[in-house]
Each structure stands twice: as structure tokens, then as C-alpha cells.
Amino acid sequence: MGSRVRSSEAVTTFKVGTNGKVYCYYNLLAALRQAGTCAARPGEEFYECPYALGRSHCSLFVWKHEVENVIIEPSERRVLQNQYDRLEMEKDLLEREVAGLKAKVDSYEEVVAEKRALQTEHEKVGMEKRLLEREVIGLRSKLDTYEAALVKVFGVVVLFLGFLCFFIRY
Ligand SMILES: [Zn+2]
């Protein structure tokens, strides 16, 4: 290992594969190297972009212990997986519940629409009833007028018959 000085633009963004291996930003398997005697942490291991020593690439540089702080233990991973599975199941249940509620809302809206239609019908019938009542009132007043006229005619006829009887007798 040379005593290269780490550039100030060193990138610490790295990825960890499902195999637990470290990759650089461009998905290249990071190289595990050991720091030289003149380094800040002599003898300590670090990961860097496999191209770091040759042509310039993403200049990944991260100490191994920093990576290990981030990588989760298999047991932790199992716990997280279980949590994830449980959440997935809860999500399914909630989705089913949402679907049920949606169906309820739909049927409720149908009932409301039916009620509204009935209400409109009811209002229409009410309006027709009012029109008929007005017509009946008109007809009744007309009938009253006819009756009054009939009574007058009847009166005249009775008067006329009375005169007729009077003249026949004398
Ligand atoms: Zn790289």
C-alpha cells in the first residue's frame, strides 16, 4: 500500500448488496485495502472505488468500521423482515377494509339517489295535487254561480206558475 493522501472530495456514499458486499455509487464492487503507515489510521482497512488507483471514478473512500456500523446483522435483518411482513399483512387487511367501506359508501349513495328520486316524485305529486285543488276551487265557485242562477230561474218559474194559476182561476 502506498502512502496516498486522501483527496478532500472523497465520497462516502456506498451501497451494500444482499450478499453483504460493498459497492460504489456506480455499482462496482469496492476494493478492500489497508491504510499505509503514514495514513490517518495506519493499518486500518477501508473500502474504495476499484478504479480509485487507476483512472478516476467516483472516488469512494470509506473506512471499514464505518461500513460495519451501517450493515445490519442477519438477526436484525430477520426482525426487520418480520416487521415488514406484518406491515404487509396489515396493509392487505386495511386494503380489504377500504374496499368494504367503499362498497358500503356505494350502496349508501344508491339509497340516497333512490330517496332523492322519490323526493322529486313526491314533490311532483304535491304540485299536481295543488293544481287539482285550485281547479276544484274554481269549479266549486262556478257551481255556486250556476246554483244561484238556477235558484233565480226557479223563482221566476214559480212566480210565472203562480200568475198562471191566478189567471186560470179567475
Ligand atoms: Zn466507483
Say what the pTM is.
0.38
Looking up cell 189567471, which residue turns up? Answer: 167
| Distance from the alpha carbon of residue 9 to the mean position of ligand 1, in angstroms | 13
Residue 78 has pLDDT above 70, yes or no: yes
| Distance from the alpha carbon of residue 57 to the mean position of ligand 1, in angstroms | 5
3-state secondary structure (DSSP) of residue 125: helix
Are 71 and 80 a contacting pair, CB within 8 Å?
Answer: no
Residue 24: Cβ-neighbour burial (10 angstroms; 0-12, 13-18, 19+): buried
| Distance from the alpha carbon of residue 118 to the mean position of ligand 1, in angstroms | 72
Write out the residues surrounding ion ligand 1, Cβ under 5 A: 24, 26, 28, 49, 57-58
Residue 25: Cβ-neighbour burial (10 angstroms; 0-12, 13-18, 19+): middle
| Distance from the alpha carbon of residue 103 to the mean position of ligand 1, in angstroms | 53
Q: What is the pLDDT of residues 30-48, one digit of tens each?
A: 999 999 988 888 999 999 8
Q: What is the pLDDT of residues 92-150, one digit of tens each?
A: 999 999 999 999 999 999 999 999 999 999 999 999 999 999 999 999 999 999 999 98
Are 31 and 80 a contacting pair, CB within 8 Å?
Answer: no
**Which parts of the chain fold into alpha helices (H)?**
64-70, 74-169
Are 66 and 44 a contacting pair, CB within 8 Å?
Answer: no
What string of H, E and C letters represents the secondary structure of 48-84? ECCCCCCCCCCCEEEEHHHHHHHCCCHHHHHHHHHHH
38: which residues sit within 8 A by CB, 6+ positions away?
3
**Better-predicted residue by pLDDT, 72 or 109:** 109
Pairing relation of β-strands 61-63 and 45-48? antiparallel
Looking up cell 367501506, which residue turns up? Answer: 101
